[in-house]
Amino acid sequence: MVPIAKTAIKKLDQFQNGEIDENEFLDYMHKELPIECELYSLSMERKSATYESNEYIQRFDGLFAIVDNMFMYYSVECTDTWSNEK
């Protein structure tokens, strides 16, 4: 998940700085979305954590949720609504 997220952040920065166009940025996000979704889903399929590792697990879950939200925001379903926004 971390390499996918790092590249997504890099691509977003490049897009915002005009180094790449919107299509290149969205192509990356759309191409990696299935992998990201699978990793996010797998992260939820674990046994209960011990009390000592609970804080680590909560941070881990938060990180995965942030990355998932970022990918979902730029998903085809979401970007298709952008043209309808005013």
Render pLDDT for 13-69 as a digit per residue (tens, 0 to 9).
999 999 999 999 999 999 999 999 999 888 877 767 677 788 888 888 888 899 999
d(CA 86, CA 21): 22
Name the DSSP class of 49.
Answer: P
- Write down the pTM of the prediction: 0.74
Q: Please, what is the Cα angle at 15 between 41 and 31, to 5 degrees?
A: 35
d(CA 18, CA 80): 22
Total domain count, the chain? 1
Say if residue 84's pLDDT is above 60.
no
Mean pLDDT of 70-86: 78
Contact of 15 with 21, CB cutoff 8 Å: yes
Asked if the structure places residue 25 within a domain, the reply is: yes
Query: What pLDDT score was predicted for residue 34?
Result: 94
Q: Which domain holds residue 10?
A: 2-46+66-81
Asked if the structure places residue 55 within a domain, the reply is: no
Asked if the structure places residue 56 within a domain, the reply is: no
Query: What pLDDT score was predicted for residue 86?
Result: 46
